[in-house]
Structure 1
């Protein structure tokens, strides 16, 4: 496996009436992930423009840390149907200041 940092980024959509509930049921997962070894950041948030969209961002020190987290993550079992998904994993070979 690679020692590159890893970003999982994207979004998924659910029925607008269920969006805030779906975000809320992930609160425990987010808190636990942020304490997990190798987690630089993790956020699952309601999109401010699209009432059906939930944004997902994960930043991990390594693929190994991400896989270790996935083995124990225990995500919410039952959430409303996901309508669409656009999510990608990115291996970071180089980073620097944004400006």
Structure 2
């Protein structure tokens, strides 16, 4: 049995006036993560429809790769309180083309 890939996906909200600052504060973390072995993708982005919402997507080759990065991630300090959150971690055992 192969090691499942890990997907972390979801969103959270902050005060709309703080959203862009929160997203910008994650730029260094995103750059470092994308250079980390086992990181397939990581994006923390402003939602185009909801001015308070920040979308989060992470794709990791394995749980081990994710945990190794978390040990050195050094995320930015919390700039604004999180108002709402819906985030899930998925263990993916099979991947195929979408179309």
Counterpart-to-counterpart distance in 2, 1:10 and 1:30 = 16
Equivalent positions of 1:39-54 (< 5 A) are 39-54=39-54
Counterpart-to-counterpart distance in 2, 1:80 and 1:96 = 38
Aligned partner of 1:37 in structure 2 is 37
Aligned partner of 1:79 in structure 2 is 79
Q: Secondary structure of the residue that 1:95 maps to in structure 2?
A: coil
Q: Secondary structure of the residue that 1:23 maps to in structure 2?
A: helix
Counterpart-to-counterpart distance in 1, 2:5 and 2:36 = 15
Aligned partner of 2:19 in structure 1 is 19
Q: Could you list the runs of 4 or more consecutive aligned residues of structure 1 that deviate by over 6 angstroms after TM superposition?
A: none
Counterpart-to-counterpart distance in 2, 1:91 and 1:72 = 22
Counterpart-to-counterpart distance in 2, 1:69 and 1:82 = 23
TM-score, reference length from structure 2: 0.96
Unaligned runs of 5+ in 1: none
The CA deviation at 1:72 is 0.5
Unaligned runs of 5+ in 2: none
Cα RMSD between the aligned structures? 0.9
